[in-house]
Amino acid sequence: MYQINEIFETIQGEASYTGTPAIFVRLQGCPVGCAWCDTKQTWEAKDTFIVSLEQTLEKKADSEHWANASAEEVLAVFNARGYNAKHVVITGGEPCLFDLVPLCELLHNNGYTTQIETSGTFEIKAPAQTWVTVSPKINMRGGYEVLASAMQRADEIKHPVAMQKHIDELEALFEATGVTPKLVYLQPISQKAKATKLAIDTCIKKNWRLSVQVHKYIGIN
């Protein structure tokens, strides 16, 4: 069973799949503890917040409520709601708290592509075809280390930045894990002008790419 915080259809606003219609499946639970996390409602999976899957679909605002659902029930939601998107983004929370193989395989068998967005601090259990976005969360409060195996599996690295320290930490991680990723996106935190300039300057210098969270600029989820 998967712990579902919400499921919705939108446009992917970040990194390589920017602009792609996508169904987001947000899973509940994350112990990583990023101070600037914008989905803190997913951190804890308290029993007192369990609701029906239908109720998670009808949420009008972020909340800690979540539902247990099988892979088949998740797919049934896509069909019942008439979603058109054929790309599924499994995010969180930290989706790698779960074995994502059954869900991704079921989706692949039904004509969907899959992508996961993970902090890289838990073993990635997903099929080879799944696009893996690692947003390495370095030195966060929860005390989890970014795994070398996650860095090796990543199809792209997406790194939030606000100051030079964040770029230095990323390069130190490449060094420590022995992984030099081909595709690195820097993403300014909170659309701040200073962070955006730093990200642009660094991308040009290192031949990395800029990810600006398009959905926040156009005011969609």
Closest CA to 209 of 178, 187, 179, 181: 187
* Minimum CB distance to ligand SF4 smaller for 42 or for 213: 42
Query: Which residues, at least 6 apart from 141, have a Cβ–Cβ distance to it below 8 Å?
Result: 32, 33, 34, 35
- Residue 153 sits at φ, ψ, to 5 deg, of -75, -20
Does position 136 interact with ligand SF4 (CB under 6 A)? The reply is: no
Task: Name the minimum Å distance from CB 213 to ligand SF4.
Answer: 13
The C-alpha atoms of residue 60 and residue 128 are separated, in whole angstroms, by 35
* Total residues binding ligand SF4 (CB under 6 A): 12
Contact range with ligand SF4 by CB under 6 A, out of 51-59, 86-94, 170-178, 200-208: 86-94
Contact range with ligand SF4 by CB under 6 A, out of 46-54, 88-96, 162-170, 200-208: 88-96
x/- mask, ligand SF4, residues 154-193, rule CB under 6 A, reads ----------------------------------------
* Minimum CB distance to ligand SF4 smaller for 75 or for 94: 94
The C-alpha atoms of residue 158 and residue 154 are separated, in whole angstroms, by 10
Task: Name the minimum Å distance from CB 121 to ligand SF4.
Answer: 7
Query: Which residues, at least 6 apart from 107, have a Cβ–Cβ distance to it below 8 Å?
Result: 71, 75, 88, 113, 114
Strand partners, 132: 116
| Interacting positions 91-110 with ligand SF4 (CB under 6 A) | 92-94
| Candidate list 137, 158, 166, 209; residue touching ligand SF4; CB under 6 A | 137
* Minimum CB distance to ligand SF4 smaller for 139 or for 180: 139
| Interacting positions 16-75 with ligand SF4 (CB under 6 A) | 30, 32-34, 37, 39, 42
* Minimum CB distance to ligand SF4 smaller for 91 or for 114: 91
Task: Name the minimum Å distance from CB 137 to ligand SF4.
Answer: 5
The C-alpha atoms of residue 184 and residue 199 are separated, in whole angstroms, by 11
**Which residues are at the interface with ligand SF4 (CB under 6 A)?**
30, 32-34, 37, 39, 42, 92-94, 119, 137
